[in-house]
Structure 1
Amino acid sequence: MISLQQRSIAHFDLDCFFVSVEVQKNSTLKGKPLLVGGHGDRGVVAACSYEARRFGIHSAMPMKTALKLCPHAIVLSGDMEAYSEKSKEVTEIIANNAPLYEKSSIDEFYLDLTGMDKYFGSLQWTIELREKIMKESGLPISLGMASNKMVSKVATNEVKPNGKMQVLFGGEKAFLAPMPVEKLPMVGKETAAQLHRRGVENVRTLSEIPIPLLEAWLGKNGIALWNKANGIDESPVIPYHEQKSISTENTFRADTIDMQFLHAELVRMTEKIAFELRQQDKLTGCVTIKIRYSDFETVTKQMTIPYTCSDHILLEKVKELFQRLYDRRLLVRLIGIRFSHLVQGNYQISLFDDTQEMIALYQAIDHIKNRFGWQYLMKGTNVAAPGKRKDNHLRHIMPYQKR
C-alpha cells in the first residue's frame, strides 16, 4: 500500500481567472491594468490584472481607492455567466482525462496521480494535460506538483502566472523554509501579525517552534500550522462527484393554492440554505425546484446558473423556476429547493455585482444569523400565515451524482 506521504498530487490554478476570461473576449485588453468589479464610488474590486497589482491594488479593495492608485485602469463590470461557463469547460477537460480530481473552487483543481509513475511519468502527463487545457480553453493555467495538496498549492503560487513546478518527495520542508509565514495557506493577516510580534518571520522558524508553545499562542490552530510549516498535509483529494448538494423541503399541514404563502415559503427556504452555503464557503451552480401536488404527483425542474451564494440572485432563479414548473393549478402539498454543483468559494465571487453597502449588509445579516439563528432575520415578505407549515419541515444533505 502507498502511504499518504508518497502521494503524487497536482494543483491547477487558472491564472487571474476573471481577468483572463475578459482578455480572451477582448484581446485589446491584454497587458493593460484591468479591474473587474462594481462601477462608481461604492463599487468593489472583485479581481485585477497583474498589471494593476503593480500599483498596489488587490481584490476586495474599494473601487474608488483602486482608481486613485491607478487612474488609467480599465474597469469592467464582470460576466459571471462567462466565468462559470469557462470553469465548467476546464472541469470537463480535466474530468475526461484525470483518474481522480477535486474541484476546490471555480478556478482551482487538485489531481491525485499516485501510482501513475509505474506506467509513465506523472509529471510529464500533468504537463501535457496543462497544455491541453490551455490549447482548448485558451486560458493560462499554473501547475504545482508535490506529495500533498498544501505543498502543491504553494508551489503553484510561486510560479504564477502561467508556470509549472514540482517539489520532489522529501524536499517539502526545505522548499517552504525560506518563505514568509504569509505564504502558508490559511495564514491570514491576524495570524501573521501574531507570529511577527513574537519574532516569527519565516516558515523555517515556525517549523522549529514546539507544538505546545504554538498551541498556547494559537489554540488548536497551532498544531495545524506546525504541520503546514513542516510540509505535512494528509488531506485527501475529494472526488468531484462526491460533492454535496444542500436542500430543504416543506410538507404543509394543509394543501394550499395560496400563492402569497407559497412565495413566502420560497423566500424563507432559499434564505435558509443560501445562508448554509455561505457558512460552508460554498457556491452553487445549479438550482432545482420540486413540487408535490395534492394528488401526490411530484414534478421537478432545474436550472444551471452562474456560481453564486447570494440570496437576491438565488431568489430570482428560484421564483423563475417555480413559475415555469407550477402549471397544473392544483393544490400544493409540498415544495422543495435544492442547490447542487457545489464548489468551494465565498461571497467575494459576487463583488462585481454589489456595492460596498450590499456586501456590508450580507456580512451584517450573516453575523446576526450566526449569533441568534437563521430564522430570526428574514425578508418582510417571508411572514407566512400561521398553521400552514408543518413543524417538521425537512433539511437534507445528499450526494451530488455527476451527470
Structure 2
Amino acid sequence: MLLDDQRTIAHFDMDSFFVSVECKKDNSLKGKPLLVGGRSDRAVVAACSYEARKFGIHSAMPMKVALRLCPHAIIRGGDMEEYSKHSREVTEIIAGSAPLYEKSSIDEFYLDLTGMDKYFGSLKWTSELRQKIMKQTSLPVSLGMASNKMVSKVATNEAKPNGQLSIPFGQEKIFLAPMAIEKIPMVGKETAAQLKRRGVETVRTLSEIPIGLLEAWMGRNGIALWKKANGIDESPVVPYHEQKSISTENTFGSDTIDMEFLHCELVRMTEKIGFELRSQNKLTGCVTVKIRYSDFETVTRQMSIPYTASDHILLEKVKELFNRLYDRRLLVRLIGVRFSHLVSGNYQISLFDDTQEMISLYQAIDSIKSQYGWQYLMRGSSKAAKFEEKLMPYQKDKNELIMKKRYPGV
C-alpha cells in the first residue's frame, strides 16, 4: 500500500563524465590514470579517472600537485563542446521515457517515479532505462533509488562506479547511520571540521543530537543537517522544462547605428546576466541575441554552446550572433541578450585551459559584485556604453554622420 508521504525517486549520475567521454573517444585511455584539465603548472584538474583517484588526486586540485602524486598520469585538455553534446544525448533518452525528470547538472538527473509501482516495477523500469542509456551512449551510469532526492544521491555515490543501489522505504536512516558525515551532500570540509571538533564523525551520531542543539550550533544549517542525518528530504523533483532563462534588454532613448556604443552595450548586458548566472550556480547551453530596428522589425538568432557561465566565452558568442544579425543600413531601437537551456553547475568546469589565477579572478570579481552590486565592477567598454547612453538625446547628428560615411551614395 502506497503511503501519502511515500515517494520513489531515482538518481542517475554519469560516472566521471568528462573522463568517460575522453575514454569513449580514445579506447586506449581506459584503465589508466587520466586527468582532464589545463596542461600548464598553474592549471587545475577539472576531472580525474578512478585510477588517478587512487593516488589521492581529486577535481579542483592544482595540476602540478596531481602530477607530483602521479607523474605518469595522462592529461587531456578537455572538450566542453563534446561533453555538452553527450549530456544532451542522455537528456533526450531520459526525456523520451521518464514521466517527470530534473536535470540537476550536466551529468546528473533525478526522476520522480512515484505511483509507477502500480503499473510497473519502478526498480526494474529504471534499471532498463539505465541499460538503454549505456547501450546508446557507450557511457557508464550509476543509479540510486530511494524515497527522496538526498538519499537517492547518496545511494548512487555508494553504487559507483557503474552500479546501482535501491534503498527500501523506511530504511533511509539505517542506510545512512554508519557513514562518515562527509557522505551527506553539502557537508563540506569546514562543516565537517566543525562537527568533528564536537566529536561528531558519523551520521548516526549526528542524527541523535537534539535538533535544537544543532540549531544553536549552526543556525538554519543545523536544522537542515538534522533532517538529512535522519533521511528526511521533502525537496521536489523540478521538471527540467520549467528551468527559466536569464535575460536582459535595453530600449534606447534615441535610435542608433553607432557600432562602438552597441558593442559596449552588449558587453554590459552580458556581464550583468553572466553574473546572475554564476550567482545562481547555473550554466547556460544556449545564447540568444535580439535586435529591434527603428521600423519596429524584431529579429533574433540563437546558438547552442558548450555549457558555460564564463563572461569571456559568453561575450564572444553574443558578439558573433549580433554581427550575424545586424543590418548596417538600419538604426537600432533595442537590443537584448538571453541565456537559456540552464543546468546547475560550477562555471569552473569551463576553464580547462585557464589557470588558478583566472578562476580566482572570477571568484574575486563576483565577490565584489555580490557585496556592492554587479554594476560597480565592469569592463571599461561597458562603462563607456552607460556614459554614451546619457548622451542619446544628442545622438541624431552622430547617426547621420555615420550613415553618410558608411554609405556615401545613400
Q: Shorter-chain TM-score category?
A: over 0.9
Q: Which digits, 9 at most, give the CA deviation of each residue in 1:118-171, with x for residues without a partner? A: 011010000000000000010000000000000000000001010000000000
Q: Which digits, 9 at most, give the CA deviation of each residue in 1:274-304, with x for residues without a partner? A: 1001000000000000000011110000000
1:282 aligned partner: 282
1:255 aligned partner: 255
1:103 aligned partner: 103
2:127 aligned partner: 127
Tell me, in whole angstroms, the C-alpha distance in 2 between the residues paired with 1:196 and 1:20.
35
1:170 aligned partner: 170
1:146 aligned partner: 146
Residue 346 of structure 1 pairs with residue 330 of structure 2: no
1:384 aligned partner: 385
Residue 244 of structure 1 pairs with residue 244 of structure 2: yes
Tell me, in whole angstroms, the C-alpha distance in 1 between the residues paired with 2:352 and 2:49.
15
Residue 298 of structure 1 pairs with residue 309 of structure 2: no
After TM superposition, give the deviation of residue 390 of structure 1 in Å: 11
- 8 Å Cα contact 2:265-2:386 kept in structure 1: no
Residue 79 of structure 1 pairs with residue 79 of structure 2: yes
SS at match of 1:330: coil
- 8 Å Cα contact 2:268-2:385 kept in structure 1: no
Tell me, in whole angstroms, the C-alpha distance in 2 between the residues paired with 1:372 and 1:2.
51
1:324 aligned partner: 324
- 8 Å Cα contact 2:257-2:328 kept in structure 1: no
Sort the Cα spacing of 1:208 and 1:390 in 2 relative to 1 into closer, same or farther, 3 A: farther
Unaligned runs of 5+ in 1: 392-403
After TM superposition, give the deviation of residue 111 of structure 1 in Å: 0.3
Instruction: Give the counterpart letter for 1:229 in structure 2.
Output: A
SS at match of 2:276: helix
- 8 Å Cα contact 1:12-1:142 kept in structure 2: yes
- 8 Å Cα contact 1:13-1:109 kept in structure 2: yes
- 8 Å Cα contact 1:250-1:390 kept in structure 2: no
Instruction: Give the counterpart letter for 2:156 in structure 1.
Output: T
1:313 aligned partner: 313
SS at match of 1:128: helix
Q: Which digits, 9 at most, give the CA deviation of each residue in 1:27-73, with x for residues without a partner? A: 00000000000111111100000000000000111101100000000
1:44 aligned partner: 44
**What percentage of aligned pairs have identical amino acids?**
79
SS at match of 2:272: helix
SS at match of 1:7: coil
Tell me, in whole angstroms, the C-alpha distance in 1 between the residues paired with 2:390 and 2:4.
49
1:35 aligned partner: 35
Instruction: Give the counterpart letter for 2:212 in structure 1.
Output: P
SS at match of 1:353: coil
RMSD, aligned α-carbons: 1.4
Instruction: Give the counterpart letter for 1:217 in structure 2.
Output: W
After TM superposition, give the deviation of residue 79 of structure 1 in Å: 0.3
2:408 aligned partner: none
Instruction: Give the counterpart letter for 1:98 in structure 2.
Output: A
Unaligned runs of 5+ in 2: 393-410
SS at match of 1:191: helix
2:399 aligned partner: none
After TM superposition, give the deviation of residue 5 of structure 1 in Å: 3.0
Tell me, in whole angstroms, the C-alpha distance in 2 between the residues paired with 1:42 and 1:68.
13
Tell me, in whole angstroms, the C-alpha distance in 2 between the residues paired with 1:333 and 1:4.
55
Q: Which digits, 9 at most, give the CA deviation of each residue in 1:146-204, with x for residues without a partner? A: 00000000000001010000000000000000000000000000000000000000000
After TM superposition, give the deviation of residue 252 of structure 1 in Å: 0.6
2:334 aligned partner: 334
Q: Which digits, 9 at most, give the CA deviation of each residue in 1:232-258, with x for residues without a partner? A: 001110111000100000011111111
Tell me, in whole angstroms, the C-alpha distance in 1 between the residues paired with 2:349 and 2:198.
34
- 8 Å Cα contact 2:283-2:308 kept in structure 1: yes
2:397 aligned partner: none
Tell me, in whole angstroms, the C-alpha distance in 1 between the residues paired with 2:329 and 2:49.
51
Tell me, in whole angstroms, the C-alpha distance in 1 between the residues paired with 2:348 and 2:13.
17
2:398 aligned partner: none
SS at match of 2:252: strand
1:396 aligned partner: none
SS at match of 2:117: helix
After TM superposition, give the deviation of residue 388 of structure 1 in Å: 2.0
2:157 aligned partner: 157
- 8 Å Cα contact 1:11-1:144 kept in structure 2: yes
Residue 199 of structure 1 pairs with residue 210 of structure 2: no
- 8 Å Cα contact 1:245-1:339 kept in structure 2: yes
SS at match of 2:5: helix
Instruction: Give the counterpart letter for 1:312 in structure 2.
Output: H
- 8 Å Cα contact 1:252-1:390 kept in structure 2: no
SS at match of 1:386: helix
Tell me, in whole angstroms, the C-alpha distance in 1 between the residues paired with 2:251 and 2:388.
12
Q: Which digits, 9 at most, give the CA deviation of each residue in 1:66-92, with x for residues without a partner? A: 000000000110000000000000000
- 8 Å Cα contact 1:130-1:141 kept in structure 2: yes
2:405 aligned partner: none
Residue 268 of structure 1 pairs with residue 280 of structure 2: no
- 8 Å Cα contact 1:101-1:239 kept in structure 2: yes
Tell me, in whole angstroms, the C-alpha distance in 1 between the residues paired with 2:264 and 2:130.
47
After TM superposition, give the deviation of residue 100 of structure 1 in Å: 0.5
Q: What is the TM-score with the length of structure 2 in the denominator?
A: 0.94
- 8 Å Cα contact 1:45-1:351 kept in structure 2: no
Q: What is the TM-score with the length of structure 1 in the denominator?
A: 0.95
After TM superposition, give the deviation of residue 354 of structure 1 in Å: 1.2
SS at match of 1:265: helix
Tell me, in whole angstroms, the C-alpha distance in 2 between the residues paired with 1:18 and 1:4.
39
Residue 186 of structure 1 pairs with residue 186 of structure 2: yes
1:397 aligned partner: none
Tell me, in whole angstroms, the C-alpha distance in 2 between the residues paired with 1:389 and 1:359.
34
1:87-98 to structure 2, matched below 5 A, reads 87-98=87-98
Tell me, in whole angstroms, the C-alpha distance in 2 between the residues paired with 1:384 and 1:356.
31
Tell me, in whole angstroms, the C-alpha distance in 1 between the residues paired with 2:391 and 2:286.
27
1:400 aligned partner: none
